[in-house]
Amino acid sequence: MKFLLRLLISAAVIFGVAYLSHGGLLHVASFWPAAVIAALALAVVNALVKPIVFVLSLPVTILTLGLFALVINAAMLSLVAAVVPGVETAGFLQTLIAALCIAIATSVFTRFVEEDGR
């Protein structure tokens, strides 16, 4: 049940970032099925691909004091946009900002909902 709730929060945040930026940061065709599939794909990519990329880029991440992790997040979002139909990114800087907004908003809303449910 928690996974489904987190998936819906992530889908709402992805759609919200696209809607509030009017497609300037991210373009999502619709909430269902594009944003939901994008949230599911982002969860799979973050679970399988991101740890491998993070370990391989650990020296660069250490040299940049962790800022390269933002680039990795943007790359994961670009990978999702390349795979999921109906989701498009505008450019690298816009994808970086969208990934940052998605990460912050998802963590805030997920923490808010989980604390409320206790």
Give 64-116 pLDDT, tens digit per residue: 999 999 999 999 999 999 999 999 999 999 999 999 999 999 999 999 888 76
Q: Nearest CA to 70 among 88, 55, 54?
A: 54
Band (pLDDT 50/70/90 cuts) for residue 117 is low
- The one-character DSSP state at 23 is T
Between the CA atoms of 85, 91, 92 and 95, what dihedral angle is there, to the nearest 10 degrees?
-60
Give the model's pLDDT for residue 113: 85
Tokens representing residue 65 in the block:
């004091």
Average pLDDT over residues 35-57: 97
Give the model's pLDDT for residue 14: 98
Give the model's pLDDT for residue 15: 98
Give the model's pLDDT for residue 57: 97
